[in-house]
Amino acid sequence: MINIVVFASGSGSNAENIIRYFNYGPSASVDNPIRVAAVFCNRSDAPVIERSRRLEVPVEIFNKSDLESGRVAQMAASYGAQALILAGFLMKIPASLIEAYPQAIINIHPALLPKYGGKGMYGHHVHEAVVAAGEKESGITIHLADNLYDHGRILFQARCEVLPCDTPLDVAAKIHILEMENFPEVIDGYLSKLLG
C-alpha cells in the first residue's frame, strides 16, 4: 500500500474526487496500491469534512500551531503517509514538512503558474484577477510544493479559453472541469513512478 494524505481547507470537491478515484474507482484495484488514508483539514466547519467522512475516510482537524510544531507531520506519519496532496489547502507548508516529504507534496493551483500565484491568490480571487486582466486563457497547474506559495516543479498544466463575456464564475466552472479530469491521474502517474 502507498498511503497518501489529502490536505484541504474548504469545499473539498478535489479531495472527494481523489478519494473516489483511489479508494473506490477502477483505479482502486489490486494493481494500484495508492489509497487515501486520511484527510487533514485546518477548518472545523469546512464541507470537506462531511464529504470525506461519507466516503469513510478519517478526518483530522488541526490548527496553525499543530502545523508548525510538527504535530501534523507526526499525524501524517501515524497514517503511514508517503505523500501529501494539497487540494485547496490554504496554509503555507512549513519547511520541516517539505523536508519530511522530499518531492512528495503535490499542490494544485487554479491558474497557469507562474501567473496568478502567491499569497492571497486562491479560489475566486484567482479567477477575478484573470478576468480583470482580460486574459484570453487560464488553466490549472499541478506542481510539487516547496517553501513558497504556489511554487515548485511543475508536473502538469491544462488550459481553457477565457471569453470576453466570461465572469469569474464562468472561469471557475471551466477550471473545475479541468481539475476533476486531471488531478487524480496526474497524482497517480507521478507517485507510481516516485514510490511504486
R_g over Cα of the chain? 16
Instruction: Pick the stretch among 5-13, 72-80, 129-137, 158-166 that binds ligand GAR (CB under 6 A).
Output: 5-13
Among residues 2, 4, 5, 8, the one that binds ligand GAR under rule CB under 6 A: 8
Instruction: Pick the stretch among 10-18, 29-37, 49-57, 64-72 that binds ligand GAR (CB under 6 A).
Output: 10-18
Residue 14 is a binding residue for ligand GAR (CB under 6 A): yes
Among residues 2, 7, 12, 139, the one that binds ligand GAR under rule CB under 6 A: 12
CB of 46: closest distance to ligand GAR in angstroms? 8
Q: In what order do the strands lie in the sheet with 2-8?
A: 59-61, 34-41, 2-8, 81-86, 105-109, 137-144, 154-161
Contacts of 195 (CB under 8 A, 6+ apart): 2, 82, 83, 104
**Whole-number Å distance between alpha carbons of 51 and 87:** 14
Contacts of 33 (CB under 8 A, 6+ apart): 1, 2, 196
**109 an active-site residue?**
yes
Q: How many residues in the shown chain lie near ligand GAR by CB under 6 A?
A: 18
**Whole-number Å distance between alpha carbons of 88 and 9:** 6
Among residues 22, 81, 105, 109, the one that binds ligand GAR under rule CB under 6 A: 109
2 vs 10, beta carbon nearer ligand GAR: 10
| Number of alpha carbons in the 13 Å side-chain half-sphere of residue 85 | 29
Residues 138-167 that bind ligand GAR (CB under 6 A): 150
DSSP 92: P
Q: Which residues are known to be catalytic?
A: 109
Footprint on this chain of ligand GAR (rule: CB under 6 A)? 8, 10-15, 87-88, 108-110, 122-123, 126, 150, 175, 179
